[in-house]
Structure 1
């Protein structure tokens, strides 16, 4: 095997192991809480944290896309103006 492939595979497996461990650690923390209200509050906090992580940042990305499109349109207009100034029959 190529050593580069092995390095990337090892890095990917390490990242996967760390992310899996962190998620399972959160679940185990709540699972071992004896008092039911405290345990339910722990699960609710986890649920809120996961929802916040999964929520897309659409407004920021949408405005950035709009700005990018406006910039592209301005660039296109500048190119069209410069093309129109070229003498085609000289």
Structure 2
């Protein structure tokens, strides 16, 4: 590998590490804000961000859910049939 590729990979790795900061680190940043209105605004922003992340997934179509369940049952039946063929006489 040439040095430019290594440098770009290293830069990408650093950017990824910085962007994946845990939520706890964000909370600690708010703790160190001295002004009460600023600290409360920081906590409110964090609360809103967490609420957006915790939103439940939209409800799926019932027919799609039934089709998925049907497919899972077919897969289970195939596995059980193959197990019965392997363990015959166990």
Interval containing the TM-score (normalised by the shorter chain): 0.3 to 0.5
Structure 2 length normalisation: TM-score?
Answer: 0.44
* Structure showing greater Rg: 1
Structure 1 length normalisation: TM-score?
Answer: 0.44
Could you say which structure has the higher helix fraction? Answer: 1
